[in-house]
Structure 1
Amino acid sequence: MKYFLTALWVFVCIGVLAFSHITWNKQTTVQAVVSDTEPSVKQDTNGVNADDKYMALAANLPEAAKKQLKLSLKDGKPYSILFVGSTALQWGSQVTESLLKSYGSERITTEMHTYDLTSNDFIGENKQLELAAKKAQLIVIEPFLLNDNGEVTIENTLANLTKIMEDIKAESPDTTFILQPSNPIYLPKLYSTQVEALKNYAVANNITFLDHWTAWPATDNIDIKNYLINGQNVPNEQGTQVWAQYLIEYFVSK
């Protein structure tokens, strides 16, 4: 009897251990399957990483801007772009429409801030503090070059530009800047040297410079007058479209 009970107890123990082992294996297998089927990145219906799609559109942006955009996509927050300059910037609606169509309003936001001021007046009225309060991640600046022409020396224009960016950086250290000139005009003379100085400033400070003048007729070609309002040095509808298309092709890489 004693041996029978001992044998029975051994059999029961073996059965309990076997059952526990089988159950544990099933739980582990289920957990592994669930883990393997959970996607690690957002994908579209074609299995393409959605974030990669938008980063490809932004291929032309400065590296610092692309890093901020990537973080915004990861966090699910819109990336903010601010366009700043003189009242010659009349292409805001076209550029904004294209960006929102390409990226979506949940991934990108844009604002236009234009001023009929010289750079001296802009700084004198502390308008740069209004921009700083926006805390935009990317700011594209046309630093009032044509407004300053004949009114403010290029040295002062560039000093004012430095002041604008420094005050913005004080509020938003991660803000990236892009510079661009105002529109070209026929036989610009002094103005062309100011634009060249802005380009050199951008190179010296490692800031991206958008040379949209390359998309217009040459400044010594009288045809350029067809892109400006008659008797004025501001773009007409055709000139605005040329400028807008240049910016669209920059911000939405194909």
Structure 2
Amino acid sequence: MITILSPAKTLKMDKVVNASLYTKPIFIREASSLIKGLLKYSPEELVGLMKINSKLAEQNFMRHITWEKEHDLFNSKQALLAYDGAVFKGINADDLNQQQLSFANKHLIIFSGLYGVLRPLDLIQPHRLEMGTKLKNKQGNNLYDFWGNKLTIYIKKQLKIQDDNTLIDLASKEYSSVIDMDKINARVIKPVFKDYKNGTHKVITIYTKRARGLMSRFIIKNNISLPSDLKEFNEEGYSYNEYLSSDAEFIFTR
């Protein structure tokens, strides 16, 4: 069973923890190629390309200049420990032990606009490149063209290696749509988290992001390998709603 996640826009690169436990990004050559493409853009041009303000554009312009192909513990940090959005606050990786981090590295995959796919312990350098960015490249006009076939093949291969055909989709649509779900020959299950509001259960984005992190943490801490075991998830008031669920969607409500 493999679980996929989206990355976060924010990073915490201040300190390295679990320094002895890390891996290197698989598609580092491709990431380097994208950085070379980004170096052609001035801060002013990055504002339009990345749909960000001038302060963030200047920050990312400097990141592109200082980015190095060789990743080590002096210039990088493990992805699961570096990302700092709501999903990753829910995972709270800082207190996971080595066994749990090793399990995560085998069963959790973070999609990335820059790195393609990241295992939790893969080293990353400061960056911000969303999958929806329309960055022209040798494969096409956007990052879906650049990554789509590569990541579909990679996910299919990983499922085969694990002798499993179940993919747990905890990623946003922006990221999960980069792969062709029909070609990976897998059972895809999407956990959906809904809160009761104004007389009905609704998806509320800010709560959903945290819940995806909590679900990921639940999988990691309990070494979950069977999809049916996901139904036991009950963090922060959520519980499996059999009435609303289907084979493709596991609905959790509170």
* Shorter-normalised TM range: under 0.3
Structure number with the bigger relative contact order (C-alpha 8 A, sep ≥ 6) is 2
Rg comparison, structure with higher value:
1
Q: Which has the higher helix share?
A: 1
Q: Which has the higher strand share?
A: 2
Which TM-score applies when normalising by structure 2? 0.24
